[in-house]
Every structure is written in structure tokens, then in C-alpha cells.
Amino acid sequence: MLEVLFIGLSLGSILLLVALGLAITYGAMGVINMAHGEMVMVGAYVTVLSGIYLHTNIFVAIPLAFIVTALLGLLIERVVVRRLYGRLLDTLLATWGIAILIQQAVRLEFGLSFFGIHIQGLGPGLQNVSVPEVLQGTFTIAGADLNRYRAFIILVTVILSLLTWFIVYRTTMGTQVRAIIRNPKMAAACGIDVTRVNALTFALGSGLAGVAGVMMSGFKTVFPDMGTPMVVDGFLVVVMGGVGSLLGSVFSAGILGEINGLVAAATNDILARAVVFGVVIAIIVLKPKGLFALKGR
Amino acid sequence: MAVDRRSFLKSGLLAGGTVITSPWVFSTGARAAGEIKVGVLFSLTGGLSIIEKSLHDATMMAISEINAAGGVKGMKIAAVAEDGASDPKTYNEKASKLVIQDKVPTVFGSYTSASRKAVLPVFEKRNNLYFYPTYYEGFECSKNVVYTGAVPNQQLSNFIPWIIKTLGKKKFFIVGSNYIYPREMAKVSKILIEKNGGEWIADEYLELGHSEWGSMVNKIKGSGCDVVLSNVVGDSVVAFYREYKNQGLTHDKLPICATVTSEIEIAAMGAEYAVGSYTSFPYFQAIDTDINKAFVDRYRAFVKDPKAVTHHALESSYFQVFLWKQAVEKAAEITPVAIREAVKGQEFDAPNGHVKIEAENLHTYLTPRIAQWLPDGQGKIIDAYKEPIMPLPYVAYGETPTNLFCTSKGLETSKLNKT
């Protein structure tokens, strides 16, 4: 039973890992960032490439991926998203386009494959990320064999959640972000540089996605399309938890993960997935603003 | 004999069932002097492009080799390559384009059964010819498709008895991706398991492309099975093998025996996750013959990637072009029907060994082999048939070499209904 609960917890932590960045970009800024999955993918490729060219392992890739994807996020915000604030559907289309561009850039090796140049680690194929020996296999707690890599993911997710909580609730920038969530115009009137804060928030959200990508690369397949299904799961978590609520995302990821794990153990994975979607629909119908909606006036 | 336009058209449309009349008569203008056009139809974009690109490359390599050696009947082969975009509907459209607009007498293509089923009506209606290089689930009998990959009896008929007798494993956990190929493979496996005195204790599926294996592997762990038979397809394979090791299962105690896991997936997951597991295929990159080693070298040079791996469907994509070439040389005229008739019984020394097209069902004689994966990502061939065996696409329904269900006359459905 402990093993089943552990798997549920692990599923929840993976959901949260992807959703954390979305909770910030979608929750705080009102941008439906369809390119979020591609940020995860870029993070995974940073792991692959740093392994090949720098001979470093997955631990080094975490800060590296954060920096790369945060910078990429900053660029996207500057060039495209900045012009689209307040236009929810337009952000969806624009970021979807960006998602396709990023995917193809990786698949076509930034266009070099047209000239017959092959960059090892890029291209349409499946990539291999080697996982350090420490993170392979199992460890035993209370008679249950638990998966080390999954435990590592849970650990990283907890650290990132705490860090995000700290940034949003205990720093000046966080206070400004929360003010912008409540009312961007009023925040601007109070002297907050909304443009700058938004740019940094978007970069932070993208950076978190990059770290999620590093974690995914260790046990899922790394290929250009890998991010697309993840972004759907991420939105499920954020919407169910309540847009703009970090705590809501944590809870909804945990609940969905455990439901998935328990139903899958009792029946099968295909049914479990259907039940998860059913639960999300029920919650959206009963509580349209999500579990932990912000009380606004 | 005077033939008016209407009845001529009619007979053309009916040609799916007849052999003598073919709409091909319309398209004599198809060939430029000294050139034969053929279609090459694989996914160059989308999720399946990972594998299908390599099949495309192998096909193009065979064509360029034939052209370099003087072509067919003194004519160069001109490949018209189209992109199936990992989407069956696109496959159907592109196949129509190749057959109707480009008027090619043959198309080489498809990896998944879904894409093959999608193009099948095009080739049957127009009485054209399709060469399909992938191992598949059988249960198909078309006069317009030449199948050069393995069918279940060439992957499982050797594998299951070997697992039970040589490995001494009797309790099977069958796991697969949720679509037609893994389900048909499971059906054949169950018959063979029961026939050989084993038992299957579970038959479970995950969505195609699913990469969350935590629950399933935990289930395998608690099931009390002593061998896992995997029909898992695509990128899910990687996540499956990784989760398997990460939950503490080892291939020496509880081996995964797979029908899909090839050199490509092993390279992607990292060989350490698959060391000691088994796969059954007619071809492995590790086959230790001069002809195969030369083939691997030529392929790597062709794709300009010194680490590229070769695998079963890739090898079939390669040798089927040579079988086609021999058929064209034998055929009196270059029409799909003439090529189809001429390809029957064609033989070729492929990298995997001697192959031959069975005249009755247009499938291919192949040599079943079992390999155990080594730390370097290559298979060590530990069991192989001495010679190629006959392809039986309906083996799950009781087909035997002396009682064929699929013959040159078509499928004898009455035999199917009896079982």
C-alpha cells in the first residue's frame, strides 16, 4: 500500500513540477502560455547537451537549464508576450506558434540539417540522458521498495515549491507580483514597474519549466514533441487549484496524483486517466474558480 | 473487340478484384525515357518521424545503390518522396497523390499498422502495389501489398517456447500499448503460452505514447509472474525499461521479453536499463556476417552519422527495394500487376540472411532470432533458426503451412469462421 501511495505522490509531484511555472505565468500574468511544454523540452535538451559537451551530470544541468530557459522566457516576453497583455486568446495563439517554432528549431537542429550538418544531441531522434548511479534502483523504507529517482523528483519539487512560495510571499518582487495579480492598473498607479515585474515573472515561470525538463529527462523520453502533452496536465492542475493560488496548485496536483495512482493500482492506467479528467470536470462545474480561488472585489 | 468508354471505365473500377484489366493502361505516359518513378511514403515529421525517417533513409539508400549499379533494365529509379506526417489521413492523401497524379507503379512505405490500413483502400481500388517493411500483427490478406517484415509466427512461434523451455519461465505478464498490434500479438502469445504448458496471469495495456509506468510496474512486481512479455511500442518503451529498473526489478530474475524493443529504443534509454533482457526479431545490427557489417557501414556513411543504428524494419526497408528491382527485371512490362506477379518467389541475400517472397500470401520468409541485450546496446544472438520460416499471417486463427488461409486467390473466410 505504501508503494501505491508513493507512486501517487510521485505522480502528483511531477504534475506540480510542470504546473509551478504555469501557476505563475498563467495565474499571475493571465498569459495562456502554450509554449510552457516546450520550455520543459528545452530544459530536457539542456540536460542532453550538457551531458554530451560539458560531460556534466543531471545535478549540474538543473541550474544550467534554469538559466537557459529563463533567458529564453525573457526573450519571448520581450518580443511577443509583452504586446499581448490583457488579450487572453491572443496569447494562446501566439505562444502556440512559439511552441511550434521551438519544436521545429530543435528537430531541424536550428535549420542546420538543411545544410547536412548534424549536431549531436539535437534532431528528430530520441535522446539518451544518463542518470547517476545514486539515482537508479530503489531504497527501502518500512519494508517497501521505493524508487530513488521518484524520491529525488519529490524532493526537488518540494524545494522548488518552497522557493517559489518564498519568492512570491516573502520578497519585494513577490509582493509586487501579487499586487499585479489583484489589479495591474492599481499596482501601476502605486508606482510598481509592471512591465519589468511581468518580464521577470515570465522568466521565473519559464525557468521553473526548464528545471521540470531536467527532471523529466531522467525517466521519460527526450524528443522534440515531449512537452506538448505535459502542458495539458499543467493547465488541469492550475485550473483545478484556482488560478493565481500557489497553494491551490500544490493541493490539486497532490489530489490528482493520488487519484491517478490509486485508481491505476485498483484497475488500470487508462481508466485512471479518465477518472482524473472526470474529477477535474466535476470540480470545475461545482467550483468554477477552482479549489482555492482568490477572493476579489 | 470494340470497347466503349463506359464499360472500359467500369472494368477499370472493378479491377480491384480482377487481374487482367488494370487502370494502369491509362498511364503509359508515366515514365520519362530511361526512368522509373516509385513512391516513398514515410513520416518525416511528427512523433513517428523518429523511426520512420530511418526507414525513409534505408529506402533511399537502396535506390541510390541500384542506380549507381546501372539501375533497373537500364533505367534509373526516380524516387518521389512524400511525408506521411505521422497521420493516417495524410498517409491516405499522399498515397492517392502518388498513385493517381505521379502514376507510380509501386510505393514503398508505412511503419504503423494504422497508416497501412489507411492507404490500403487506395492501392486495392487502383490495383497498385505497396511494399510494407514493418513487422506487424498479421490478419491481413491483400493482393496489393508485399509484406517484408515479420508476422507473429516469425516473432513469437520461436520466442514463447524458448522462454518456457530454455529460460524455464512459465508465468507470463503480458503488457502492451493499447492498439491493434499489441492486442493481436497478445492473442497469438496466449495461444502459444497455453500450448507450451505455461500460463498468462495478466494482459494489461497503456495508451500509445504514455510514459508514466509507475503503477504498471508496481503491478508487475506484485503479480507473482516470472517473465514479462512486452508489446510496448514507441517512446513508451524507454520510460517502461527505466521505471522497471528504478523499481528494483532485474532482468536476471524477471526478464522483459519484447517484440518491439529494437536497437533504436535501447540507444535512447541507455543500454544499462536493458542489459539482460530479450527481444525477438529476424534482424539485429549485431548479426555477424560480412554482408551485414558492410550494410551497417554503408548506412552510417549514407546518413552521415557514425553512431546510427540499424534495426529490423530498417533492414526490411532496404532489401525490399532489391526484391522489387528483381521483380521489375523479370516482369514483361512495368505495371503494378506485372511486378506483383513477378515478385512472387523472388529471393535475395539480405543483411539478415536469405529472404524469399511467398507466392501465395506475398509475405516474406524470414529467419527468427532471439537476442539478449548487452551493455554496449547491441544484441547478442543466442537463438536462431537455421533457415527462414514460412510467413503465416493468420497463425492465431489456426493457419499452418499446409493449410493456408491467405492464398493468391484471396482470404478464405470460411476457414476463419471455424475457429
Q: What is the ipTM of this complex?
A: 0.79
Residues B54 and B133 in one domain: yes
The Cβ of residue B20 has, within 10 Å, a number of other Cβ atoms equal to 7
Do residues B393 and B140 make contact, with C-beta atoms less than 8 angstroms apart? Answer: yes
Higher pLDDT residue, B51 or B8? B51
Q: Which domain holds residue B199?
A: 154-281
Alpha carbons A60 and B13: distance in angstroms, whole number? 65
pLDDT score of A132 more than 60: yes
Cell digits of residue B135:
513487422
Of B45, B205, B248, the CB nearest to A137: B248
Are the C-beta atoms of B150 and B388 separated by less than 8 Å?
no
- Does any domain span residue A82? yes
- With respect to residue B382, please indicate whether it lies within any of the assigned structural domains: no
Least confident range from B49-53, B64-68, B350-354: namely B49-53
The reported pLDDT for the residue numbered A294 is: 66
Domain shared by B199 and B146, yes or no: no
Do residue A138 and residue B246 have CB atoms under 8 angstroms apart? yes
Euclidean distance between CA atoms B144 and B146, whole angstroms? 7
Q: What's the pLDDT at B171?
A: 94
* Cα–Cα dist B236/A229, whole Å: 13
Q: Rounded mean pLDDT of A239-249?
A: 85
Give the gyration radius of chain A's Cα atoms: 19
Per the structure block, which three cell numbers stand in for B137? Answer: 500483427
Q: Are B174 and B202 contacting, i.e. CB atoms less than 8 angstroms apart?
A: yes
Which cell is A205 given? 515561470
How many angstroms separate the CA atoms of A283 and B5, rounded? 65
Task: Give yes or no for a contact between B72 and B34, defined as CB atoms under 8 angstroms apart.
Answer: no
Number of domains composing chain A: 1
Per-residue pLDDT tens over the stretch A74-117: 999 999 988 888 788 888 999 999 999 998 888 888 877 777 67
**What is the reported pLDDT for A295?**
64
- What whole-number percentage of chain A has pLDDT above 70? 98
pLDDT at B17 over 60: no
Q: Are B136 and B148 in contact (CB under 8 A)?
A: no
Does some domain include residue A178?
yes
Considering the domain boundaries, does residue A77 fall inside one?
A: yes
Q: Among B348, B349, B343, which residue's Cα sits nearest to residue B329?
A: B343
Contacts of A121 (CB under 8 A, 6+ apart): A45, A48, A49, A51, A52, A53, A127
Q: Provide, rounded to the nearest whole percent, the portion of chain B with pLDDT above 70.
A: 91
Kindly tell me if the per-residue pLDDT of B34 is higher than 70.
yes
**How is residue B105 written as a grid cell?**
507503379
Q: Is residue A55 part of a domain?
A: yes
Mean pLDDT, rounded, for A140-157:
86
A238 within some domain: no
In chain B, the N- to C-terminal Cα span, in Å, equals 47
Enumerate residues 6+ apart whose C-beta is below 8 A from A201. A24, A25, A28, A29, A177, A180
> Which residue is it, cell 499452418?
B400
Please state, in angstroms and rounded to a whole number, the distance separating the CA atoms of residues B122 and B124.
6
Please answer whether residues A219 and B268 qualify as being in contact, where contact means their C-beta atoms are separated by less than 8 angstroms: no
State which H helix or E strand residue B411 sits in.
Answer: strand B410-411
Mean pLDDT value across residues B133-159:
93
Count the domains in chain B: 2
In a domain? residue A124 = no
| Strands B353-357 and B347-350, sheet pairing | antiparallel
How does residue A16 score in pLDDT terms, banded at 50, 70 and 90? very high
Cα distance from A40 to chain B (closest Cα, Å)? 15
Beta-bridge partners for B37:
B78
Residue B267: φ, ψ to 5°:
-60, -35
Predicted pLDDT of residue B178: 87
Cα–Cα separations (whole angstroms), residue A111 to B103, B142, B268, B304, B338: 33, 41, 23, 17, 43
Residue B410 confidence (pLDDT): 86
Task: Provide, as residue numbers in chain A, all residues whose Cβ is less than 8 Å from the Cβ of B265.
Answer: 126
State the CB neighbour count (10 A cutoff) for residue B276.
14
Tell which of A141, A220, A260 to mutate to test the B interface (max B CBs under 10 Å): A220
Q: Which residues of B touch A227 (CB under 8 A)?
A: none
B248 touches chain A (CB under 8 A): yes
Q: Indicate whether B300 and B212 sit together in one domain.
A: no
SS3 label, residue B279: strand
Taking CB atoms and an 8 Å limit, are A223 and B242 in contact across chains?
A: no
Whole-number Å distance between alpha carbons of A74 and A25: 12
Q: Which residue of B has its CA nearest to A225?
A: B47
Q: What are phi and psi of A244, to 5 degrees?
A: 95, -5
Q: Rounded to an integer, what distance in angstroms lies between the CA atom of residue A248 and that of residue A90?
A: 26
Would you call B204 and A131 a contact, using CB atoms and an 8 Å cutoff? no
Quick check: A264 and B215 CB within 8 A?
yes
**Grid coordinates belonging to B287:** 548479426
Give the pLDDT mean for B100-123.
Answer: 94
Q: Which three cell numbers stand for residue B303?
A: 546518413
A159 falls in which pLDDT band (50, 70, 90)? very high
Determine the distance in angstroms separating the CA of A182 from the nearest CA of chain B, rounded to an integer: 37
In-domain check, residue A120: no
Chain centroid to Cα B45, Å, comes to 20
Q: Cβ of A219 and B246 within 8 Å?
A: yes
> Where would I find the H helices in B163-262?
180-195, 214-222, 236-246
C-alpha cell at A185: 492598473
pLDDT of residue B20 exceeding 60: no
E strand or H helix at B63: helix B49-68
In a domain, A100, yes or no: yes
Q: Helix (H, G, I), strand (E, B), or coil: what is residue B246?
A: helix
Q: Which among B209, B212, B238 has CB closest to A11?
A: B212
Which of residues B247, B281, B315 is at a domain's end?
B281
* Of B341, B357, B373, the domain-final residue: B357
Residue listed under C-alpha cell 498517409: B91
Contact status of A131 with chain B (Cβ, < 8 Å): yes
For B186, residues 6+ apart whose C-beta sits below 8 A from its C-beta are: B174, B176, B203, B229, B231
Under 8 Å between Cβ of A45 and A222: yes
Q: What is the CATH number of the domain that holds B131?
A: 3.40.50.2300
Asked whether residue B413 is domain-assigned, the answer is no
Which of the residues A269, A276, A277 would you substitute to probe the B interface, choosing the one with the greatest number of B C-beta atoms within 10 Å? A269
Using the predicted structure, report yes or no on whether residue B27 has a pLDDT greater than 70: no
Last residue of a domain, one of B324, B357, B390: B357
pLDDT digits (tens, 9 = 90+) for B172-205: 999 998 888 899 899 989 999 999 999 999 999 9
Q: Do the Cβ atoms of B210 and A10 come within 8 Å?
A: no
Q: Using the predicted structure, report yes or no on whether residue B388 has a pLDDT greater than 60.
A: yes
Is residue B397 assigned to a domain? no
The 3-state DSSP class for residue B371 equals strand
What's the whole-number average pLDDT of chain B? 88
